[in-house]
């Protein structure tokens, strides 16, 4: 069992490391790892993602997560035709993605947008 603040501490450490480590190195490393064809690496990444997020693979053209060549191929997988039909109403707001709307409302200059536990001003997001 984790200590009460263990998850919060891990999250803070993860964020701190992102500020301390060279960003180009981290980006290149993430790029290489997510495109690895080494079964041990790509299968571990895919299994971890599936176990944590439980994506509906019945919507995918290839429903077997481990059949994808890389984690990136899995993450950007194609959906079956008509898996997510779009509303024909031109006034409808459609986002055929795996995701959840966590914030909604009118925006004004002082409103902060919450994304992944961080607060941002509208101006900083559009900069």
At 113 the pLDDT is 65
Position 67 pLDDT exceeds 90: yes
For the chain, which residues make up each domain, given as ranges? Answer: 8-89
Give the pLDDT mean for 8-27.
Answer: 83
Rounded Cα–Cα distance for residues 68 and 77 (Å): 8
Question: Computed from CA positions of residues 33, 35, 36, 41, in that sequence, does the dihedral angle turn out positive or negative?
Answer: positive
The pTM of this model reads 0.64
Q: What is the largest CA-CA distance in the chain?
A: 51
Q: Where do we find the tokens 């599936």? A: 50
CB 46: neighbour CB atoms within 10 A? 19
| Of 48 and 14, the one with more pLDDT | 48
Position 71 pLDDT exceeds 90: yes
pLDDT over 90 for what percent of the chain? 43
At 16 the pLDDT is 84
CA distances from 46 to 31, 42, 85 (A): 15, 6, 26
At 117 the pLDDT is 66
CA distances from 94 to 55, 79, 86, 90, 102 (A): 19, 16, 7, 10, 15
């Amino acid at each position: 069992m984790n200590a009460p603040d263990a998850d919060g501490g891990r999250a803070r450490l993860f964020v701190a490391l992102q500020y301390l480590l060279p960003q180009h190195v981290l980006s290149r490393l993430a790029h290489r790892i997510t495109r690895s064809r080494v079964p041990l690496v790509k299968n571990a990444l895919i299994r971890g993602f599936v176990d944590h997020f439980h994506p509906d693979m019945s919507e995918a053209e290839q429903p077997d997560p481990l059949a994808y060549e890389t984690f990136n191929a899995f993450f950007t997988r194609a959906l079956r035709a008509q898996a997510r039909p779009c509303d024909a109403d031109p006034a409808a707001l459609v986002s055929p993605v795996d995701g959840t709307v966590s914030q909604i409302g009118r925006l004004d200059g002082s409103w902060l947008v919450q994304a992944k536990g961080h607060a941002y001003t509208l101006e900083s997001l559009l900069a």
